[in-house]
Every structure is written in structure tokens, then in C-alpha cells.
């Protein structure tokens, strides 16, 4: 990657298009769980100058704050659209680290300089992410991808959150207590993401478990060439999923990659209860044999057994229309508040049953057409409708288990990728098997 | 024992003394061990003040010698040379953190001033070379009279980095790495060709085309 001073406009526009589609569909829905709905009037009331101040505060921050801003600003209802897009894209514009700093980081944390560790080490990064950048290296005939973390990221997380959360709270109109449980979840995920030793351990475990998945490949990770801030893995030759989408969207090949993505995610959720929770196109490569290469396990969500069971039991109860079941599961999933009146509970129940009926649609059919605009428009329209609903607004409070944040991010991220791929025929059957294999309730 | 070795030995004694006692020795006698007498070190300047100079100067000299040994150093850009200098420098001083904390404590104002001056000559020489090289390869823009202040600007960064490093509580002092990266980019972006040159160009043009210009040519 050339060390760039400016963002190439074409690249940004393409990425913006993808992210915009993604955030609109997924986050409007996901965001509902974690915020009071901001009314149209409120939105108009937002002082433009304040918004600009907040944007400039956010844009001064990198790494963790940027990630938080990205998670919290996913909902385009919360911040002006342009700002949300800026945050979503910001990871593409993080300035690359200089080679002396890369060399210093490798030396300080691995114990040797890149020149001592490798026969060849690319001085310029070939790829950048929000908290690190990737260099290509070689020993003999083997090629490696070396991910080097930006300095100070781990240390900044807590202090950055202290800056970002009060601002976010003001926008979301949540109390400190309400936002706390979600904030803690985000913070713990960010801290994990900044720990490359943990990433190495998890990558090795997940990849060993997924070894039999057809057409999906994983790099091998090298502990002796890695540290807390340096992660060395096999170099996978291929094009990024984003590029693949631009070239092959709507083709048979795109459908095949879509199927591999679906199988990879369902396998992790169902069998491992641990899922790669960052389905961002930058985290996947496509080889010339149309294999799906998974290259980043920074953000992994472990699904607690109780949550996993209730999540799918809720789907099943909705599918079979068992109202009593629905209510008790929703209770366990923290949808109801002690202060809710009977009519509040009924309203909340109706909203989520309607929404989840939409979300579970792909799981219920043998094959699902993710190119279907109507399906995505339906979800989006429902989110919009909710934000206009006066009763819902008056009821407003943070609802739902903290585990929803990353579970939803995963599912909607996946749905969006499949939508952009225009994957028409994804074999999604397997819901019955998930229900059949649900773990029994713990005592 | 050669003079240099004696000086180095005594300098190490001084570091040990400061780390242990957290204060300056009253006289160089405090640094003697066992049967040693002042005569043992008679061939070296054993005034603590001179020893401080020696220690501080050696950080710079050793940093530069590590850089010279790096086969890639000669091919680096000026920006990279500056970055490399600071990364190697903080690596050189890492063993002496406790010692430097005493030297740079607010109570030792006079000493701090003195050691800053001790680091100057070799560092300024390095910076002057860097500026010249930058002007030749056009990484740094020559702005006539302003060229003289370039070295002075860059010179201040050494103490900024050193003081920040002493207070840095982050793991592996990663925040200092971040500071170095930001500081060097800031300086190089300011010294390199930038919008200021366009601004000066426009200013000059406006002036030349104003009624004032006739007075200017006289």
C-alpha cells in the first residue's frame, strides 16, 4: 500500500456504498435494542453546531474511539448521515505507520528486527485496518502477512471510551446506567481486539475446528514471529472480498462464495458457540480457486449457552406462534423492564415478534434469495416506522441482553455481504437441526 | 585502565548512586568503593557535573553509532532518519530510567539545564546534517532566512521526547512511540513544502503589485 496522504475518492465511494447499505438495514434494527428511539423532531432539534463539534472530536481520535464511534453511529438516525459515513470509512484513511516505527514495534515486542526475522520484509504496508496495518514478508519460499498494531491502541481504549460515551449518551438520551452494560461489552471486545496474543490463540482454535469446511481456508499463525502487538500468519494470495463484490456480484461464483460465508457462520454459531463477529469485507480474501480465505479473528464473540439457547428458542417460539413461550424467553433476554405496564409489555412483545419474524426468514427456508431488495427494504421500513411511533418513543429505554450487540452485528453483517454479492440461491436450511441440538437449560 | 574506561566506570557508579540514593552525591568521593581513593580516578575529570555531561553525551553518540551500523540507514529519507534516531535513542536510555528520573526531577532544575546543554553538541551536529540533507533532496523546503531556525526547532524535540518517555506509563512505553511518530510527521510536514509557501508566494505577489512596490524598489 502506498503511504497515502489522501483517500482515493473512487475507493471511498465504493466502500461508502457498501457500508451505507449495511448500516441502514442492519443498524436501524440492531440499534433499536440499545437506545431510545430518537424522534424526527428530536433529530431536527439537534443543534447542527453541536453535531459538528462532536464530529471534530471523534475525528481527532483513532483506533478504539473510532471503533466505538463506528459501533454507536451505525444508526444513521443518530448522527447526520454524512458523519456516520465518515466514521464507518475512517478505518480506510488511518495514516500508515512509518517503517522505523514498524521496525521498532517488532523489535520491542518480538525481540528481533524484521530484517533479523525475515529474509525480506516489505517496508510499506499492503493493507490498513482501524488498529493496525499489514506488511508482506518472506522466509525462503514462504510468504507471510505480518500485522503490526498502531502504538498506544490498547492504552487508549479506556480513556477514549470516557470521551466517546458521554457524547454518545447525550445523543442517544440514555442514562449512565442504561448505557453501561452495553459500553462494558464494547470495551471488553475492543480490549480483546487489541490483544494479538489472544487473537492468535483464538484463530488457531477456530481454524482447527473449521478445518473440514469445504472451500474455506485459514492462514496458519506463528507464535514465534508474533507478540501482543505483532501477528504473523501465512500470506494468502487472493483478492479482497470488496473487490470481488465489485467484479463478480450476481454471478454463480458470487453465489458460491456467499454459500461458503453462510456455512462458515452457521457452523461457528451452531457448533462452536464462538463467532467471528466482524463480517467486514476487508476480513476476507477470495483465491483464484474461489476459496474463501478468512484472515482476521480480532473480534470474536463467545455466545453464552443460555443466550444462544434463548435466542433460537425465541425464533422457534415465534415460528410456532407460542405466545406464552415468547413472553418468558423475552423476559430472560432482558427485553422487559420492571417499570413496564401490561400494555408496555404487549407493545414491546409485538414489536420484537414482528421484527424477529423478518430476521429469521432466511433461516426458515431451504434456499434464500439475498438479492431480494424487498426483504431488506421491509426490515429497513419497519425500523423507520418504529422510529416514528409515538408510543414506542414514550416507552423508550435500553432493552435487550448485551449479547445482542455483537450477535446482531454478525448476522446483519453477513446478510449485507450476501445482499451486496447478490447471492440468489443460498442453501439456508438447517434451522431444524439448530433447534434439535439446542443445549438443555442449565439448572 | 584507560581514561575513557575510567570515566565510564565512574559514570556507572554515579547512575547506581542516584538510583539508590535518589539524590546527587555531595562530592565525587561518595562514588568511591573499598580502598579506592581520589587518586584512582585522578586521570579523569571526576566532578559529578562532568560525569553527567559524559553520560548524557554518550546517549546521543551511541544512538548515532547504532544508526550508522544499520545498513539501511544511508538510504532512508530524512523523515525516516529522524524517526529512527528517536526510536533508537529511547532504546538506549531505557536501562537508565530511574537515573534519568532523578536528573529530570523538578528539584534538580540547575542540573537539568546542565545536562540538556551536554546533549546539545552531538545532537545539533546530527540535526544540522539532517536539515542540509533534507534541503538538498527537497524533503525540506529552503526558505532563505528561515533555514537558520530549522535546527533550533528540531532540537527542542529531543527534550520533549525524553520528558514524555519518563512519564509514559503505557505498556512498553508505546505512547512514546506514538508521540515520536506524530512529532516527526508534524515537524517534517511543517518544514517540507506546504501551503505556507503558497501563502508567502501570494503575499509577495500582492506586495509587488501594490502601490507600495515603487517604494520597495528604491
pLDDT digits (tens, 9 = 90+) for B128-149: 999 999 999 999 988 877 778 8
Of the candidates A117, A139, A147, A148, the residue with the CA atom closest to the CA atom of residue A224: A117
Task: Using alpha carbons, select from B191, B196, B109, B134 the residue that is nearest to residue B157.
Answer: B191
Chain A, nearest residue to B180 by Cα: A101
Q: Choose the closest CB to B87 out of A104, A109, A152.
A: A104
Is A98 within 8 Å of B83 when comparing Cβ atoms? yes
pLDDT at A168: 66
pLDDT digits (tens, 9 = 90+) for A195-212: 999 999 999 999 999 999
Query: CA–CA separation, A378 vs A203, rounded Å?
Result: 36
Query: Mutate which of A151, A153, A157, A160 to test chain B, going by most B C-beta atoms within 10 A?
Result: A151
- Is pLDDT at B45 greater than 60 in this prediction? no
Structure confidence at residue A55 (pLDDT): 47
Q: What is the mean pLDDT of residues B61-75?
A: 92
Q: Do B177 and A105 touch (CB under 8 A)?
A: yes
Write down the domain spans for chain A: 9-94+154-190
B162 falls in which pLDDT band (50, 70, 90)? very high
Q: What is the pLDDT of residue A401?
A: 85
Instruction: Mark B52-81 as b/e (b = at least 16 C-beta within 10 Å).
Output: bbbbbbbbbeebbebbeeeeebeebebbbb
Mean pLDDT across B46-61: 82
Q: CA torsion sign, B168 to B172 to B176 to B179?
A: negative
Four-point Cα dihedral B57, B154, B101, B172, nearest 10: -110
Per-residue pLDDT of chain A (443 residues; tens, 9 = 90+): 434 333 333 334 333 333 333 333 333 333 333 333 334 434 444 334 444 444 444 444 445 555 555 555 444 333 444 444 444 444 434 568 899 999 999 999 999 999 999 999 999 998 876 688 999 999 999 999 999 998 888 777 777 777 777 766 666 666 677 677 778 888 888 888 889 999 999 999 999 999 999 999 999 999 999 999 999 999 999 999 989 998 999 999 999 999 999 999 999 998 999 998 888 788 899 999 999 999 888 889 999 999 999 999 998 899 888 888 899 999 999 888 888 888 888 888 888 888 888 888 888 888 999 998 888 888 777 766 766 666 665 555 667 888 888 887 788 788 888 988 999 998 987 777 888 887 766 54
For the CA atoms of chain B, what is the radius of gyration? 22
ipTM, two decimals: 0.79
Which strands make up the sheet holding A292-294, listed edge to edge?
Answer: A216-217, A292-294, A284-286, A239-240
The owner of cell 512505553 is B173
Averaged pLDDT for residues B96-109: 85
Of the partner residues A95, A97, A154, the one whose CB lies closest to the CB of residue B171: A154
State the pLDDT at residue A99: 94
pLDDT at A440: 67
Q: Cβ contacts (< 8 Å) between B84 and chain A: which residues?
A: 100, 103
Give the per-residue pLDDT at B198: 85
Q: How far apart are CA A294 and CA A203, in angstroms?
A: 10
Amino acid B128: pLDDT: 92
How far is the alpha carbon of B197 from chain A, nearest alpha carbon, in Å?
19
Name the minimum distance, in Å, from the CA of A115 to any CA of chain B. Answer: 10
Query: Among partner residues B80, B171, B172, which is closest to A98 by beta-carbon distance?
Result: B80
**pLDDT reported for residue A130:** 64
Residue A339 vs residue B60, higher pLDDT: B60
Report how far apart the first and last C-alpha atoms of chain B are (Å, whole number): 69
Contacts (Cβ under 8 Å, ≥6 apart) of A3:
A95, A96, A124, A125
Percent of chain B at pLDDT > 90 equals: 38
Give exposure, B186-216, as e/b (b: 16+ Cβ within 10 Å).
ebbeebeeeeeeeeeeeeeeeeeeeeeeeee
Question: In Å, how far are A98, A158, A191 from B174, measured between CA atoms?
Answer: 15, 15, 15
Size of interface A-B (CB pairs under 8 A): 50
The dihedrals phi and psi of B52, each to the nearest 5 degrees, come to: -60, -45
Nearest to B51 by CA among B88, B90, B103: B103
Which residue from B172, B180, B185 is facing A108, i.e. has the nearest CB? B172
Contacts of A99 in chain B (CB under 8 A): 80
| Chain B contacts in chain A segment 188-247 (CB below 8 A) | 228-229
DSSP state of A79: S
The Cα–Cα gap between A218 and A210 comes to: 9
Task: Give which of A225, A238, A201 is closest to A119, Cα–Cα.
Answer: A225
Asked if B180 reaches chain A (Cβ–Cβ under 8 Å), the answer is yes
Out of A95, A101, A150, the one facing B83 most closely (by C-beta) is A101
Measure the N-to-C terminal CA separation of chain A; round to a whole number of Å.
54
A21, A404 Cβ separation under 8 angstroms: no
A101, A108, A109: residue with CB nearest B181 = A101
Classify A422 as helix, strand or coil. coil
Taking domain B49-205, whether its CATH number is 1.10.357 is answered by yes
Is A154 an interface residue toward B (CB < 8 Å)?
yes
What is the reported pLDDT for A324?
86
Listed residue (A346, A343, A304) closest to A326, CA to CA: A346
Strands A216-217 and A292-294: parallel
- Nearest chain A alpha carbon to B178: A151
Nearest residue of A to residue B171, measured between CA atoms: A155
Amino acid at each position: 500500500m502506498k503511504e497515502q496522504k489522501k483517500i482515493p475518492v473512487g475507493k471511498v465511494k465504493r466502500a461508502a456504498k457498501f457500508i451505507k447499505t449495511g448500516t441502514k438495514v442492519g443498524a436501524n434494527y440492531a440499534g433499536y435494542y440499545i437506545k431510545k428511539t430518537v424522534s424526527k423532531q428530536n433529530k431536527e432539534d439537534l443543534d447542527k453546531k453541536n453535531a459538528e463539534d462532536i464530529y471534530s472530536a471523534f475525528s481527532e481520535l483513532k483506533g478504539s474511539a473510532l471503533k466505538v464511534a463506528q459501533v454507536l453511529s451505525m444508526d444513521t438516525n443518530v448522527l447526520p448521515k454524512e458523519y456516520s459515513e465518515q466514521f464507518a470509512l475512517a478505518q480506510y484513511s488511518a495514516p500508515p505507520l512509518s517503517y522505523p516505527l514498524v521496525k521498532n514495534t517488532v523489535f520491542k515486542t518480538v525481540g528481533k528486527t524484521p530484517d533479523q526475522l525475515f529474509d525480506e520484509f516489505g517496508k510499506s504496508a499492503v493493507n490498513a485496518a482501524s488498529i493496525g496495518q499489514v506488511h508482506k514478508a518472506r522466509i525462503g519460499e514462504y510468504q507471510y502477512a505480518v500485522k503490526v498494531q498502531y502504538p498506544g491502541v490498547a492504552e487508549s481504549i479506556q480513556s477514549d471510551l470516557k470521551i466517546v460515551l458521554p457524547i454518545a449518551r447525550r445523543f442517544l438520551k440514555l442514562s449512565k446506567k442504561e448505557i453501561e452494560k452495553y459500553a462494558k461489552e464494547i470495551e471488553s471486545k475492543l480490549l480483546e481486539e487489541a490483544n494479538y496474543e489472544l487473537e492468535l490463540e483464538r484463530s488457531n482454535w477456530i481454524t482447527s475446528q473449521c478445518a473440514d469446511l469445504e472451500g474455506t481456508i485459514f492462514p496458519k499463525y506463528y507464535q514465534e514471529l508474533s507478540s501482543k502487538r505483532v501477528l504473523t500468519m501465512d500470506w494468502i494470495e487472493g483478492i479482497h472480498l470488496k473487490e470481488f463484490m465489485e467484479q463478480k456480484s450476481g454471478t454463480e461464483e458470487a453465489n458460491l462464495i456467499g454459500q461458503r460465508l453462510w456455512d462458515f457462520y452457521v457452523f461457528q454459531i451452531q457448533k462452536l458457540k464462538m463467532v467471528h463477529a466482524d463480517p467486514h469485507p476487508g476480513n476476507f480474501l477470495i483465491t483464484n480457486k474461489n476459496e474463501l480465505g478468512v484472515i482476521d479473528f480480532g473480534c470474536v464473540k463467545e455466545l453464552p449457552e443460555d443466550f444462544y439457547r434463548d435466542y433460537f428458542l425465541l425464533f422457534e417460539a415465534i415460528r410456532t406462534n407460542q405466545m406464552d413461550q415468547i413472553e418468558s424467553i423475552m423476559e430472560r433476554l432482558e427485553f422487559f423492564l420492571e417499570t413496564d405496564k401490561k400494555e408496555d409489555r404487549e407493545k414491546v412483545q409485538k414489536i420484537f415478534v414482528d421484527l424477529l419474524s423478518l430476521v429469521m426468514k432466511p433461516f426458515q427456508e431451504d434456499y434464500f434469495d439475498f438479492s431480494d431488495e424487498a426483504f431488506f427494504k421491509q426490515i429497513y421500513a419497519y425500523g423507520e416506522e418504529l422510529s416514528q411511533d409515538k408510543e414506542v418513543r414514550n416507552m423508550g429505554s435500553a432493552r435487550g441482553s448485551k449479547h445482542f450487540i455483537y450477535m446482531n452485528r454478525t448476522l446483519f453483517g453477513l446478510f449485507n455481504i450476501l445482499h451486496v454479492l447478490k447471492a440468489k440461491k443460498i442453501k439456508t436450511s438447517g434451522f431444524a437441526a439448530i433447534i434439535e441440538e439446542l443445549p438443555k437449560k442449565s439448572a | 585502565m584507560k581514561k575513557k574506561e575510567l570515566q565510564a566506570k565512574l559514570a556507572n557508579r554515579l547512575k547506581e548512586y542516584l538510583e539508590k540514593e535518589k539524590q546527587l552525591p555531595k562530592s565525587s568521593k561518595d562514588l568511591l568503593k573499598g580502598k579506592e581513593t581520589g587518586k584512582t580516578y585522578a586521570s579523569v575529570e571526576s566532578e559529578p557535573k562532568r560525569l553527567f555531561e559524559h553520560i548524557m553525551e554518550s546517549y546521543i553518540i551511541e544512538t548515532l553509532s547504532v544508526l550508522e551500523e544499520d545498513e539501511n540507514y544511508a538510504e532512508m529519507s530524512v523523515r525516516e532518519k529522524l524517526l529512527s534516531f528517536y526510536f533508537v535513542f529511547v532504546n538506549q536510555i531505557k536501562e537508565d530510567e530511574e537515573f534519568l528520573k532523578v536528573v529530570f526531577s523538578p528539584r534538580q532544575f540547575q542540573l537539568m539545564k546542565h545536562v540538556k546543554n551536554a546533549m546539545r553538541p552531538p545532537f545539533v551536529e546530527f540535526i544540522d546534517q539532517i536539515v542540509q540533507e533534507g534541503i538538498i533532496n527537497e524533503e525540506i523546503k529552503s526558505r532563505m532566512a528561515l533555514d537558520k531556525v530549522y535546527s533550533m526547532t528540531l532540537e527542542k524535540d529531543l527534550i520533549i521526547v525524553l520528558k514524555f518517555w519518563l512519564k509514559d506509563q503505557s505498556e512498553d512505553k508505546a505512547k512514546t512511540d506514538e508521540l515520536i511518530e506524530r512529532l516527526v510527521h508534524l515537524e517534517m510536514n511543517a518544514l517540507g513544502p506546504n501551503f505556507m509557501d503558497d501563502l508567502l508566494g501570494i503575499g509577495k505577489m500582492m506586495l509587488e503589485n501594490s502601490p507600495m512596490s515603487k517604494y520597495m524598489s528604491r
